[in-house]
Structures are given as C-alpha cells and as structure tokens.
Chain A
Amino acid sequence: MHDSKPIIEIKGIGKKYNITHQRGGYVSLRDVLMNILKSPFSFLKTKAKQVVGLEKKEDFWALKDVSFNVQRGEVIGIIGSNGAGKSTLLKILSQITPPTEGEIILRGRVGSLLEVGTGFHPELTGRENIFLNGAILGMKKKEIAEKFDEIVAFAGIEKFLDTPVKYYSSGMYVRLAFSVAAHMEPDILIVDEVLAVGDAEFQKKCLGKMEEVTQKNGRTILFVSHNMGAIRQLCEKTIVLNKGSIVDFIETEKAIDIYLSKTKSEKIIIPLKNTNREEFRIKKIEFKNDTNKPWIVECFEKIKIEVIMEITENIPNFRFGIGINSLSGERISTVHSDEKTLEKGEYLVSIELENRLVPGRYELGLGVLNRYQLPGFSILEVENNKNNDHKWFNPGSIDIKSDFVIKKK
C-alpha cells in the first residue's frame, strides 16, 4: 500500500448544467414537434444560432474548480447552504453523473449512500430486500449472506423478515434500510444527508455505528449534512462549499464558524423559475428571522418571510398564499392574505407565521390565487435547541396548543 498517496484525489472538478437541465427538464416530443411545425423558420434560426454560437445557452456551474485530497482513514464533513454544490459533488464522486471537467482518483472500493433503502421494493420481503439492496449498494452475494444475521439484528426486525416491506412501519423500514447500508465495507464511504430520517434514538445508534466502523477499520468517509451536531461528532476536518467552490478546508470547529458567519451575511436568494405570467413576477424571497442561519428557525419562534414582486398590470382579486408541506409532499397548512385589488408597481409582501411546527424539515411553497404557484421554494428547518422544557415532541407535524383539565366529577 502506498500510504503516502491520498486515497481521494480531486483535481479541478467542474460541473456545468444547462439551465434547461437544471429545471428538471424533460419535455414532450409532441411539444417539440408542434413548435417545429408551427414556426419552422424561427426554429431553424435558433438552431443555426446555437450551432454557430451566436446564441449562448444559459449555463450554470454547479461546481467550479474544486480540488482537494483526502488521506486514508480521514472523516471529512462537507457543509454549505442549499445550492452550494454539495449534492453535485457527491453525485460526481459516486459516478452518478460525470464531471464536465477535471479528474478524480479514488484508491479503493467506493460505496455511496445518497439515500437509505435505494431500490427497496415494497412487494418483496425484508429478507429479499436485504439481498437486493445490498447488491445495489455494491455488495457481493456472499458478503451479504455472511453479514445477514448481523444486519437483521441491528435493524431489530427478526420477526418480520418474511413480511413484505410494504407492511412495515416507516421506522422499521428506515432501520432495515440503514442497517444494510451500515454493513457495507468499502474503503471509501460517501454519505449524504441520510441521517435526517428515523427517530432520534436510531439516529444516535447510526452515528455510533459509523464512528465505530471508522475507528476500527480506518474507513475513509465523506459526509454531507445540515446537522452540525453530527458533523462535529464525526468529522475532524470539514470542507465549506459556497456557490460551487471551496471556501475553506480546515478543522471542523472553524469550518462551522465560517459557514455560519457566511450564511448570516448573505441571505439566500432562491433561483426563481419564470412565472410564465407577464403581469406578475417574483423578484426575491427572503427569510427575515434574526438568526445566523437562513431558513432555520427555533421551534415556536415566529417565521418571517419577505417577498418582493412586480406587477405590470392591475390585478383585481389578488390573494397571496403560503403553503407548508411535509417533505413527503403532504400539505400541513395553507395560509393566505385577504383578497385585494393591486395596481401595477413593485410590492413588498411581509409575512409572519405563528410557528407550531414540530422540529424537522418542511417544504415551503407560495402561490397567488388563480395565477401562480411556486411549490417548494425552500426547505425550512425547525430546530429545538432552546426549549429545554420541551425536550421531545409527540408524533405529528404540528404541536397544537392544548389545555387538558382532568377533574374528579
């Protein structure tokens, strides 16, 4: 073994997206054909311009010129605000998407864990899914068979081994999924925000397991998380990413400081999709809470949002709404303004939301009655650091203010 050579060498990695790709974009062939048929000349013109290079496609560099080395046995955290390029970096490292430029050398077997339970099939039993999921994660059949008992024991699902996982509770499902992943034995493990699932106790168990594995086997781990606690616990050094480049690569404590001070100074601006409506345009959405971290609030603390929009035509019954969804997409709450006639001009919408959300992550969306919807413009994270009298929360998404009186009649 060449211990002198770093186990991960990343040299000048960059990833470029077209804005169209960025939009998530598949299109329908019908639309494309119709466009060509309707106006063949303008189609040819834009095509020709593209070929000649007169009209530039809008490019967007999700990562630009990223280079760093990781030594064998190091556990490295990666932090950065939404859109900083963390996920893109992990996707390139796991070979899900190729880089546009640069080179990466990985000296060892790579395992990536961007999600727990990838490829789980609801119709298959726990036993069958262990093998399937293991194989998808890159384990050999023999290897899975050897570790089978260990995996089952760690997940604690002995009784339900032969039940299809569609009948599992979500807790059991996550435990089983994580358990398979925890028993991978690659030299390099790439982990995305997977610990955000599962209950607190199981999260602790998983962190423990990951610590144990790294210390015992000297495994190298790259770990992305929004959970600063987990980063602190696991990682010696941390990379701070911002807008696709490395801001710093230093000891974890310092890195977290840099990250927090950075995100405070520049409130994030969400890349807005075009509204498709001429008369109405959103220019900016801002999180106005007075904290270090954008889109992270303490539980029970009011959520303050400001939206700047431009209206180019009078709108008779304007109603502005905010929706809060769970990450699985279920609507938790919808609130909206009164109806109002707006003349053209620029407007500032200030929103204050009473916050009874239980700690966790939620999706915020906004909309204008009959005109516009922007689902999921940001993820809101509700934390519980200060409410010591409220250490834990009952199941559910909303902590309704309640008053119980029990008296003997």
Chain B
Amino acid sequence: METTVIRPRKTFSLKDIKELWQYRELLYFFVWRDLKVRYKQTFVGVAWAIFQPFITMVIFSIFFGSLAKMPSDGVPYPIFVYVGLLFWQFFSTALSDTSNTLISNQSIITKVYFPRLILPISSVMTKFVDFLIATLILIGLMFYYGYMPHISGLLILPLLLLITFMASVGLGLFLASINVKYRDVRYALPFFIQIMLFLTPVIYPASIAGKYSFLLAINPMTGVIQSARAAILGTTPINWLLIEISFISTSILMILGIYVFKKTERYFADII
C-alpha cells in the first residue's frame, strides 16, 4: 500500500530521484505535448526544426564564411559552422525554455503535485528531438562535401550531448528559480544568450583567439563544440583535457542548479 508522509520540506534527498523515476510517464507526456503543440502551431510543422538551423547556416556561411573569410580549421565553412550551430542551438534553446518552464506551466504547478524537476528535464528533451531532426542536415552536408566521420570519434558524441544537457539544465534551473521571483529576468535572457553566441566558438574556431584561447575554455560549450568538430570532421585531435574540464564543471553546475531549484521549489506554488 502506498503511504505518503507530508512534512515541512527538506532540501534534497535520494527519494527525489526515485520519485522522478515514478513519474517518468508524465515526463513523457510533457515532451509529447510540447512537440505536438509546436508542430501543430507552425504550419510548416516539423520542417521548422530543419529550416531554422539550415537558413542560419546559409546566412552565416555567406557573411562570415564568404565575405568575412573567417578561418575554419581547413573544413568547408558551411559544415564547420553547422556543427557549431547544431550544438549551440540545442544548448541555447534548451536553456531559454528551461528558464521559462515554471512560469509557462504555472497553471499546472499551482493545481497538481508532481516532482517539479520534470518540467525542465522535459524542455531539454523536447529540444533534443529538434537536435536529432536538425542532424539530418548535417548528414546531408557531409555527403555533399564528401566527409566521412571517424567512427571512433562518433563514440564521443553521447558524452558531448551529456555535457550540453547538464550545462543547459544546470544553468536553466538557476534561471528558472530566479525567474519565479524576479519576472523581468526572462526579458534580459535572450540578450545574454545572443552575446554568449559570440563568446563561444560557433562561427569562428577557438584557435582564432591564439594564446588567449584558454579563456574561451571557461565556457563549457567551447569544449563541446570544439570536440564535436574534432570528432565529426577531424579538424584537430580530440582534446581530452578540455572535455574533462567541461564535464566536471557542468556536473558541478548541474548539482548546484538542482540544489538551488530544490531549495526554492517549496515557494513556487505560493508566489507564482
């Protein structure tokens, strides 16, 4: 028989993870809802997930690749920038969705109980589906330019995705918690995301910064994008140290994010 005990809430316990697992079906339904609604609303439907990164890639290729002659580690610029965009868009859209997720679901939060962590996780998973769809273009581009990925390099991709996942969830949870209390934060966020795009080697190679390129490594997405290029396109040897640093820093970021989220979670329903 199920027994529930309700007490003044403590911050975090192992029970929370068990509970997340119990609610996995709801997680599935949230992802399903978001995908369904989005692809219903835009009349181009699923094509949108392909169209958006593709057009961005074309525009960047024209302006940064052809006109500005941005170096691209010896790879055709479109394919170079697309690998970067693929991961960047996964990160940035997941981040902005996660940080708004509590507010956009406030009608549910104030009426029904479920582990709130499901909401940010479901937004990231939704964006992951977009990522998969957008990958189709990359495959097309690789065929077009005659690039064969290194099979051994591909094995590292799940790790890179995990890092991206942790970075967006970790940071997103911080922002989501702040967002509930300070409603103006979300208006500032798109601006910061835009700036971050230029602080991440998406449209340029990290090598462009010369001896200061280590500064870029503070940003975990630098490691992800650089390693993705190394793995898929063989631009540079894979920099394991960079990956390790990114992995550890995003793990810490995520744990801190969960901690802050759980700490403020109990007020959500009261102030939202």
Q: Are A96 and B269 in contact (CB under 8 A)?
A: yes
Cα A121 to Cα B41 with chains together (Å) = 12
Q: Are B270 and A17 in contact (CB under 8 A)?
A: yes
Chain A residues closer than 8 Å to B266, beta-carbon distance: 97-98
Within 8 A of B (CB), among A73-121: 91-110, 112, 114-115, 118-119, 121
Chain A residues closer than 8 Å to B6, beta-carbon distance: 92-93, 95, 98-99, 103-106
B7 contacts partner chain A, Cβ-Cβ < 8 Å = yes
Chain B residues closer than 8 Å to A124, beta-carbon distance: 33, 36-37, 40
Assess A100 versus B8: contact at CB under 8 Å? Given A28-B183, A109-B2, A124-B33: yes
Q: How many residues of A contact B (CB 8 A)?
A: 49
Q: Are A104 and B5 in contact (CB under 8 A)?
A: yes
Chain B residues closer than 8 Å to A131, beta-carbon distance: 29
Most buried by A among B6, B29, B109: B6
Within 8 A of A (CB), among B175-208: 178, 180-185
B267 contacts partner chain A, Cβ-Cβ < 8 Å = yes
The closest CB in chain B to the CB of A2 belongs to B1
Q: Are A99 and B8 in contact (CB under 8 A)?
A: yes
B108 contacts partner chain A, Cβ-Cβ < 8 Å = yes
Q: Which of B32, B108, B181, B183 contacts A118 (CB 8 A)?
A: B108
A32 contacts partner chain B, Cβ-Cβ < 8 Å = yes
Cα A136 to Cα B29 with chains together (Å) = 8
A51 contacts partner chain B, Cβ-Cβ < 8 Å = no
Q: Are A136 and B110 in contact (CB under 8 A)?
A: no
B3 contacts partner chain A, Cβ-Cβ < 8 Å = yes
Chain A residues closer than 8 Å to B7, beta-carbon distance: 98-99, 102-104
A306 contacts partner chain B, Cβ-Cβ < 8 Å = no
Bitwise interface map of B from 1 to 25 toward A, beta carbon under 8 Å scored 1, else 0: 1111111110000000000000001
Chain A residues closer than 8 Å to B183, beta-carbon distance: 26-28
B114 contacts partner chain A, Cβ-Cβ < 8 Å = yes
Chain A residues closer than 8 Å to B181, beta-carbon distance: 26-27
Assess A123 versus B41: contact at CB under 8 Å? Given A94-B113, A97-B270: yes
Q: Are B8 and A98 in contact (CB under 8 A)?
A: yes
Q: Are B3 and A106 in contact (CB under 8 A)?
A: yes
Within 8 A of A (CB), among B99-124: 107-114
A132 contacts partner chain B, Cβ-Cβ < 8 Å = yes
Cα A121 to Cα B4 with chains together (Å) = 30
B67 contacts partner chain A, Cβ-Cβ < 8 Å = no
Cα A93 to Cα B111 with chains together (Å) = 12
Chain B residues closer than 8 Å to A119, beta-carbon distance: 107-108, 112
How many Å from the CB of A145 to the closest CB on chain B?
12
Q: Are B112 and A96 in contact (CB under 8 A)?
A: yes
B26 contacts partner chain A, Cβ-Cβ < 8 Å = yes
Chain A residues closer than 8 Å to B241, beta-carbon distance: none
B271 contacts partner chain A, Cβ-Cβ < 8 Å = yes
Chain B residues closer than 8 Å to A102, beta-carbon distance: 7-8
How many Å from the CB of B13 to the closest CB on chain A?
13
Q: Which of A92, A108, A136 contacts B108 (CB 8 A)?
A: A136
Chain B residues closer than 8 Å to A92, beta-carbon distance: 6
A406 contacts partner chain B, Cβ-Cβ < 8 Å = no
Assess A118 versus B9: contact at CB under 8 Å? Given A124-B33, A135-B25, A141-B25: no
Q: Are A105 and B3 in contact (CB under 8 A)?
A: yes
20 A-B pairs with C-beta separation under 8 A: A21-B271, A25-B271, A26-B183, A27-B183, A32-B182, A92-B6, A97-B270, A104-B4, A105-B3, A106-B3, A106-B5, A107-B1, A107-B2, A108-B1, A124-B37, A132-B33, A135-B26, A135-B29, A136-B108, A138-B112
**Footprint of A on B, CB under 8 Å?**
1-9, 25-26, 29, 32-33, 36-37, 40-41, 107-114, 178, 180-185, 266-267, 269-272
Q: What are the nearest 10 A-B pairs in CB distance?
A: A29-B182, A95-B113, A98-B9, A104-B6, A135-B29, A28-B184, A106-B4, A118-B111, A97-B269, A96-B269
| A-B contacts besides A1-B1, A26-B271, A103-B6, 5 pairs, CB < 8 Å | A99-B7, A114-B112, A123-B40, A124-B40, A136-B26
